[in-house]
Amino acid sequence: MTYREAIRAGLREALRSDPRVFLMGEDVGRYGGAYACSRGLLEEFGPERVRDTPLSESTFVGAGIGAALGGMRPIVEVMTVNFSLLALDQVVNNAATLRHMSGGQFSIPLAVRMATGGGRQLAAQHSHSLEGWYAHIPGIKVLTPATVADAKGMLLAALQDPDPVFIFEHAMLYPMEGELDEDAGAADISQARVRRQGNDVTLITFGGSLPKTLEAAEQLASLEIEAEVVDARVLRPLDISTFLTSVAKTHRVVIVDEAWRTGSFAAEISAQIMEQGFDHLDAPVARICAAEVPMPYAKHLEEAALPQVGIIVKTVQGL
């Protein structure tokens, strides 16, 4: 099954099992979704449950918050992460704060999905990796599924959560194939996952950088360097304990993050490791991030701007 098919399976299961669930967003209905994740759902569930919206993110994200307050379980799809900036008022001042400001009286069981990341030659306006921005906000959860199983399982888990959950789906992962247990339900959205065991260096990453990091670990193994790959998966709340357990074993860390280096989420992970696991480190924490430029359109320049397998291998060798 592909990553996009796993998302579609999760959407279908949610719509079938709970009448409160509905999907809305730009092109999710008649077009079948910008990335074909909702193809066929309009025909199966009808326009009340699968709703095409106007091109107004502030409006339909706000409507999703209102529907959640009213007892529904909305799934809001924002076409790409840069468009979500138009709804930041609704996210920061409403979705993230209403439980706190109501003294716990109101909950907002809202799931927001959006495509993120570069690599598709969509240039500077559609290639952002802003997951770390959202992870800065108390009151929401931030998920970055990087496997086929997590693509479905994290969506189902988000719909069980009483608070807003933001799911960042790296667009380069949609055609990726993987195994999925048909009976698999909601995923655990409280912990990171060790995707590969190793003793020499810890590689921490998430989202679209996980396949590159695993490939780098394979190349390092041929050089007799055994890398442990940790998939952060959940950026808020962050599972620092899994990172520290790995660092205590390997004593070296490289963090791979597709965002710009300055103010990146990699910096947050690095700081927490320095604060809580400094005595385990035999070298400074290393970070591999995107070049600090608007994402180029030209393919060779885009590839040069993004973290790649080769730089991961060279960085580890440098440690």
Instruction: Report d(CA 307, CA 133) in Å as an integer.
Output: 19
173 token code pair: 């992962």
The Cα angle at residue 300 between residues 295 and 263, in degrees rounded to 5: 30
Confirm if 159 and 112 have CB atoms less than 8 A apart.
no
Confirm if 69 and 106 have CB atoms less than 8 A apart.
yes
Instruction: Report d(CA 298, CA 32) in Å as an integer.
Output: 29
Instruction: Report d(CA 71, CA 164) in Å as an integer.
Output: 13
Which of 138, 145, 108, 100 lies closest to 236, judged by CA? 138
Confirm if 305 and 129 have CB atoms less than 8 A apart.
no
Total number of residues shown for the chain? 319
Q: Per-residue DSSP letters for 230-266? A: EE--EEETT-HHHHHHHHHHH--EEEEEEEESTT-HH
The Cα angle at residue 276 between residues 273 and 279, in degrees rounded to 5: 90
Residues tagged active-site: 57, 126
DSSP-derived pairing of the beta strands 141-143 and 193-196: unpaired
**DSSP H helical segments within 46-178, as ranges?**
57-69, 88-90, 98-101, 131-135, 148-160
